[in-house]
Structures are given as C-alpha cells and as structure tokens.
A and B are shown apart, each in its own frame.
Chain A
Amino acid sequence: MNQADLLEKAPVFQLKGSMLALTILELSSNDLDALAIQLTEKVEQAPQFFQNTPIILALDKCTDDTKPLDLERLLTICREHGLSTMAIRSDRPADLTAAKALNIAVIPPSDARERPLAIAPAAETPAEPSLIPARVITHPVRSGQQIYAKNSDLIVMAAVSAGAELLADGNIHVYGPLRGRALAGINGNREARIFCQQLGAELLSIAGQYKVAEDLRRDPAWGKASQTCLNEEQLEISEL
C-alpha cells in the first residue's frame, strides 16, 4: 500500500465538539489524609455513584499553599474510591509540572458557574416503585357494593356477598366466604392472585382472564380455601 492509496482513502476520523456534564472534585485543602477519610464516608452513602466515575480534579480553589500537593497520591486516592481522573484544573506552576510528569491533561480554570452536586443517599436512588399500602376492609361487602384498590392489594376481612364486586390492581385476599365477583390485576398485572377462605365466587378474573360460577362450581376447590393465579392463558385454582 503506497502513499497515494492512503491519501485516497476516506477520512478515518472526525473531530466533534460536545458539551458533557462532568463531575468536578474541588479540593479546598492539601490535606490528603482528611480527603481519604471523607471520601470513604461519601462512598458508603452512595456506592453506586462511585463506580469508575470520570471526574475533573479542580485544584484552583485550593488556597492552602503551606505544603506542596502530592498529585500522584491524590490520583491514587481518587482511583481507590472509584473516581477516574480525566484531567486536573489548575494554573499553579507546581501542579502543571506534576501533571506533565504523570501524563495527565490540564484544563485552565474557568469562570463558569458551578453548582454543588447533590449526591442522593443510596436508599433513595434506586428507581424501585414505592410501596402503596393495601386497602383493608373490615366490614362485610354487600350486594351492589364495589370496592377498588387502586395500585395496591385489597384485603377484605369479612364476607363478600353475591352481587358485590372487588377490584384491585394487585392481589385480592378475602378472609371469609367470597360469593361475589373478584377481579385482580385489572391493569394487566398477570402476577396478581386471588386468595379466599371459602370459594363461592360469581366470577374470578386475573388480568382480564376470567371464569364464571358455572365453571368454578365444578372445580374441586369450590367451597374451600383456595388461591387463583394465571398460568399461561388459563386461570388455575388450587386449594390452600
């Protein structure tokens, strides 16, 4: 392959500009021992934040000039705590020399506004759905009454009469005879189940799949404590 061929080839790279949101670790003191301790505490609070997070080390706000900064040790401390240093920000000659020796990029101090980064504690950061307490009914549910537990389970601690209707986005528990209709997982939750102490329901439904009393009556669990769940496209009833 000669020079001409190489020149004729399509460009192998492009230079692009981009604005990236980066975390800046701003040092206010040269005391690296204190930094190590405080970083350890921070990591305990929010472990998932410190997982090879790229950072810029800002040394320009560090006013403590009494003792020279050991840049090599600073980088090691950061690495040990899961922070990967991309560059330092400083204009002090000592830092520039040290950075050059360690092959670390240097960016000049900026006047851009920076705001302190709020690192949420670990317990709050996971995006798990928050718990909605079950709706608990302690009185009998009579014919013509309808009870809906939105986004939660429904627990009835009394009889559910024929002609009554229980609706829940979650599971339905009936600690008494269930003679009315029970529809669980009505928002399409196929994992929802229906539990009752005495199965005598007019209709059972999970995520839209239903069985009426005519079919339920023939089930060996009829009149007994039972649970109902969805298996493939079929309601499966079993004795408890």
Chain B
Amino acid sequence: MSKILVVTSGKGGVGKTTTSAAIGTGLALRGHRTVIVDFDVGLRNLDLIMGCERRVVYDFVNVINGEATLNQALIKDKRIENLYILAASQTRDKDALTLEGVEKIITELAEQFEYVICDSPAGIEKGAHLAMYLADAAIVVTNPEVSSVRDSDRMLGLLSSKSKRAEEGREPVSEHLLLTRYSPERVARGEMLSVEDVEEILSIEMIGVIPESQAVLKASNQGVPVILDEESDAGQAYSDAVDRLLGKEVPHRFLEVQKKGFLQRMFGGKE
C-alpha cells in the first residue's frame, strides 16, 4: 500500500525541500521504495539539495506533456538504493501543471513506489494546491516564529478542505508537524516560540523538532541530504522524525539548552 506524502508550509524558506530530501532519504535508507517529486516548477531546488542537478534530462512537466515517459524522467539516487527523484522544470511556471496530468503521474508513481513525497512550493496557489491535492498524509514544516505558524495554520485549513480526500469526504489527510530551525537558547531568552507554544496554536501531532544547525546549510551546498550526516544534531533529529513517521515511539531530543563546557565558555565556541 503506497502512501502519498506532501511536505508543505505556506511560507517560503522554512525548510520544505531540505525536509523532503531528508525524509525521503530516511525512508529509502529504511528499505522503503521512495520517490521525491519537486512541485516547485520554475524554482527547481530539490535536484541541488539531492546533488543530482547534473543528471536532470527530463522533468515533471515533460512527463505531463507526454514528451518523456515517467521512467525516462526518474533520476535514481547514486548513494541509496530505492530512492528516486522527479525534478521540476526550471524553464516553465506553475501553469504548466494540470490537475489531470498531476493526478495521472502521481497515481502511476504510487503503483511503483511505497512512498511518493511531494515537495510543495511556497504559497497557497496552484502549485501548492496540486502538491497537496492527492496527499494521504502531510508534513507541515514550520519555523518557531509567528508568521510561519500562521501560514502553517492556513495550510492545515486548506488540507482539511481542498484536498481530494476532503472533497470526496474520505478519512482526512493525516497531519504531522515538523518544527525546523529550533534554537533552545533563543527560546530560553524569550526570542523564539517554544515547542509548546507552536503545538498549542496548531494543535496537531509533532513529528520532529530539527535544531538550528550549521550542518543543514553545509549539506545543502554539498548536495547531500542532511540526514546522511549522522554526526550532526539536525541529521539525528530528522532520523528520529522518520522513525516517528513509521510509527515508532522515539523521545524528542535537542529541546533543551546544551550546557557549554569550560573550554567552550572560555573561547565562545560556536553558536
């Protein structure tokens, strides 16, 4: 039974693509046949984060228009078995996506893969709507700040009213909250919303809290999903999130302020 998972947020720059790459890679690492689909037509990023930008020949829009078959457009990940990427077109815009075309391709992917991850563009317009329309589950990525939380709230509202499941009156899309760029130090100083604040406002299940980390930027620039950086706190937090997504009970980590050692205090250390 395949599962269509949308990674969405409403607001831009909160870490949707980073999350799509990390969660998709995490699922593939655990042996699930997974494909990540970039819905951000015109602002293609997923290929960079996944480090496969030099191997994109055909893209999502080519397949919709019948210019290429799905198998021609799917890019196999070089590091991990079971992981594929479907890139977005960089030369087109969101109008190139049609509901019929998207539905046909996602349904076809769902026949081949256990997990179809739809990396949604920012906003609530056509691209974002099509990305979440067919979803069975949603990961709503939120930063601990008020505007991001409000946009996520709006997105949750759309998921419960504008998705195919909602329109057909089926069981609603299951919603998971992923908090990214979390900094316990700044929460302690009162500069940032806490996990509890965000949970209270959005009142959905928290699937993971990813700490603000240098590793994320480094991984993005290197084209390696951060979840593969097992040393980093962000990588470990994503790994926990994947386990929770698969139904495992894992305690949340990295929520408390780390006590600095003597030397770190003397020399400042890194933030």
Contact = CB atoms under 8 A, between A and B. Distances in A.
Nearest to A162: B150
A163 B161 contact: no
Interface stretch (A80-88, A136-144, A182-190): A136-144
B158 A161 contact: no
A147 to B, nearest CB: 11
B228 to A, nearest CB: 35
Interface residues of A, number: 15
B201 interface: yes
Interface in B197-250: 200-203
Nearest to A176: B203
A159 interface: yes
The prevalent SS among residues of A at the interface is: loop
Contact of A142 (B154, B172, B200): B154
Contacts of A144: 153-154, 157-158
A162 B203 contact: no
Interface in A127-181: 139-145, 158-159, 161-164, 177, 179
Contacts of A158: 203
Given A162-B150, A163-B150, A145 B203 contact: no
A143 B150 contact: yes
A45 B208 CA distance: 67
Interface in B40-72: none
A142 B201 contact: no
B10 to A, nearest CB: 9
30 contacts: A139-B160, A140-B156, A140-B203, A141-B157, A142-B153, A142-B154, A142-B157, A142-B158, A142-B160, A143-B150, A143-B151, A143-B153, A143-B154, A144-B153, A144-B157, A144-B158, A145-B157, A145-B161, A158-B203, A159-B201, A159-B203, A161-B150, A161-B153, A161-B157, A161-B201, A162-B150, A162-B153, A162-B201, A163-B153, A179-B201
Given A142-B160, A144-B158, 12 more contacts: A139-B160, A142-B153, A142-B154, A142-B157, A143-B150, A143-B153, A143-B154, A143-B157, A144-B154, A144-B157, A145-B161, A161-B157
